Amino acid sequence: MSLKKLNKVQKQAVEAVTGPVLIFAGAGSGKTRVLTHKMWYLINECGYKPENILALTFTNKAAKEMRDRVKKLLKTDDLPITIGTFHSVCARLLRDEATNLGFSRNFAIYDVQDQLDLIRVVLNTLNISKDVITANGARNYISYSKNKMISPEAEMKKARTKIEQKKADVFISYQKALRENDALDFDDLLLYPLELFEKFPKVLNKYQKRFKYILVDEYQDTNRPQYFFVTALSEKHSNISVVGDDDQSIYGWRGADVTNILDFEKFFPSCQIFTLEKNYRSTQQILDAATAVVTHNNKRTKKTLKSQYGDGELVGLFETSDELEEADAIISAIQKEIKMKKRTFCDFAVLYRTNAQSRPIEDSLRRMGIPYNIIGGIRFYNRKEVKDVLAYLRLVINLKDTISLRRIINFPPRGIGAKTMDKCVEKARLERIELFDVLKDADKLSIRGKQSESLKNFFKLIKKYHNLRFKLSPGELTRALVEDAGIQTYFKQSLDPEDAERLDNFKELLNSIDEFTQRRPNSNLSDFLEEVSLLTDIDHWNDSDNRVTLMTIHSSKGLEFPIVFISGLDDGLFPIYSNLEDQESLEEERRLFYVALTRSQDRAYLLYATNRRRTGGENLLGMPSRFINEIPSEYLERIEFESALTNRVISGSRFKSTKIRTTRTITAFNDFKVGDLVEHPIFGSGKIMVLSGMGENQRVGVLFKDGTKKKLIVKYANLSKVN
């Protein structure tokens, strides 16, 4: 084996094995290849023992890929190299050394839910109302403090207000409770090794002797504890190689510190620096457009990426009227790519800034029968906060729906626990009445008066809207119900930053109901719930792996796709409004855009809307993201888009232009029969094998020539008969 397959700079970086080494690896420049070849080189050419090498990364997937590649290079199945995530390596270390800190070797590791449960106990002990501090809010505060290496005592000293003092109290009590439970949380796994190294120099020396060479992947994503961990371990030998890209540092919101890589030379003055600029993923047009945006950041190193694959096509740009037309534009581009370039569904990825943006895209893909997967998230209608509201609506329609009742009986919190529900279930069983009817006479149960009152109020709430279900439109009823139930207030008052996104998802559900009503003016709530259920069922009909991928940009890190759509490029949505005023936050948003665009191999499409629903019904005028304006016009191709939905044409002089037209042909209902030959704009020709329903609810099951089976709603399928 040799290093002949590496380019010149990659080879130089691999062979630099003395002292600290910093490798700036631009997007798609082969950083994993460099790391794995470096491990091979250290063992085969430099005489390092595998057990003396430590390789750190951030995901189990990346660690596994790295291990598999090194095994292949070394032609062995036995690989005693320590390759793992920061958390897994630190946990292993603490198992051996925990007694020094007063923990047993069998300490528990608390996940997020465990943390929340413990924090709720702490809040109750301190008599702090959830209206003052939520468990989620406290957990985020504690985690942020730990990532910044701020102790609970330090937080108390700097506390100025009563709420700050209460939060510090929670932090102190939480850490005490963890110790009492012989437990560590994920952040502790990174902090306690540092405490070990400081208090017990012999322990530090032990691991410095063991790990004579250290490699770190994705160094731009390290936080303060991780920086101090690798710095301490490498202090004896100074043999450390880090690989990363400051332009892809996108996790500042969870503690990552981009200065760790930018200031590496200050921390390690004798370091060698290499910059990987040859790109093996994207075309030059994509790289130039992405670079043009990220160069507006002040805190970065200069890199000029050169594509292995030539110029390629210009970056496509769609201006759309709203989120519905945005989804239309995506589908029309998919249709064109499949027809003209023989693409398959797995070639496409749709990226967005927040999870709530997926709903209109999901709806459109379903109606067109296009299979998709959501990575790093949950399907919109399966997200907890969405399912909770849908459960309210289902119970309003069907009072016998005990599954929905059980789901929402204590959401928002009403003090109704499992024991109370068990008593309700038992009474329903003994008296042979509906579970819902038990709630009406809750004062007859052997429970506290407050719980009894909560159950009766819940009964009255649901009964009220059950009687209004045909008198109000679906949108009117849903808005009134969630207000009465306190759902919207619950999300608005939450201190948990994640609840802001949950509120967005809730508002997006309201948007979907409004859009449904616009499509079907004479419909009712039952019709909407039926459609949601139908759309979900269609997804399970064809279990193919050949699917369009939908994900947030954060989830796309490290992935690549032939065709990428970046949706929602409205100023205030991406970059997100809350980050517009802060320079550091805006620079991270810009890096996030860079990551999104460089996921694309062959073609990228940018989309923005001039109007978009963002607040549960309110239409906001939109402006194109400043990131679009930061891309020179020679890299952009404005695509004139005519949608039958809005009957409008987009034009512009700044950009090169092409035209795409999409139409929604609705075949006359009840015009199909089993055995008919049909044509679909994406799947091609096929034969109807199954038919059900009538009128607007008519559905067909089609077997297409390539073997694909699809169940389609006739109204939206754009099917035409083949004579």
So which residues are the catalytic ones?
31-32, 217-218, 248, 599
131-146 burial string, b = 16+ CB within 10 Å, else e? eebbbbbbbbbbbebb
* C-alpha to C-alpha distance for 502 and 303, rounded to whole angstroms: 38
Contacts of 599 (CB under 8 A, 6+ apart): 349, 351, 556, 559, 560, 561, 564
Q: What is the 3-state secondary structure (H, E, C) of 227-258?
A: HHHHHHHHCCCCCEEEEECHHHCCCHHHCCCC
Inter-axis angle of helices 186-199 and 201-210, nearest 10 = 110
DSSP assigned state of 576: B
**Are residues 365 and 692 in contact, defined by beta-carbon separation less than 8 angstroms?**
no
Name the residue with tokens 């709806």: 363
Contacts of 174 (CB under 8 A, 6+ apart): 118, 119, 122, 138, 142, 152
The first and second tokens of residue 532, run together, are 């949601």
Please list the residues that pair with 691 across neighbouring strands.
700
What ranges make up the beta strands (E) of 614-654? 619-621, 636-643
Q: Is the dihedral of CA 124, 127, 131, 136 positive or negative?
A: negative
* C-alpha to C-alpha distance for 262 and 277, rounded to whole angstroms: 17
Q: Is the dihedral of CA 643, 646, 649, 650 positive or negative?
A: negative
SS3 226: helix
* C-alpha to C-alpha distance for 709 and 394, rounded to whole angstroms: 31
Contacts of 161 (CB under 8 A, 6+ apart): none
Percentages helix, strand, coil for the chain (3-state, rounded to 5) are 50, 20, 30
Contacts of 410 (CB under 8 A, 6+ apart): 416, 417
DSSP assigned state of 616: S
| CB burial of residue 675 (10 Å; 0-12, 13-18, 19+) | exposed
SS3 108: strand
* C-alpha to C-alpha distance for 104 and 510, rounded to whole angstroms: 51
Give the distance from CA 209 to its chain's centroid: 40
Q: 255: phi > 0 → left, psi -120 to 50 → alpha, else beta; which?
A: left
The first and second tokens of residue 665, run together, are 């042909």
SS3 75: coil
* C-alpha to C-alpha distance for 93 and 673, rounded to whole angstroms: 67
SS3 21: strand
Inter-axis angle of helices 186-199 and 86-97, nearest 10 = 50
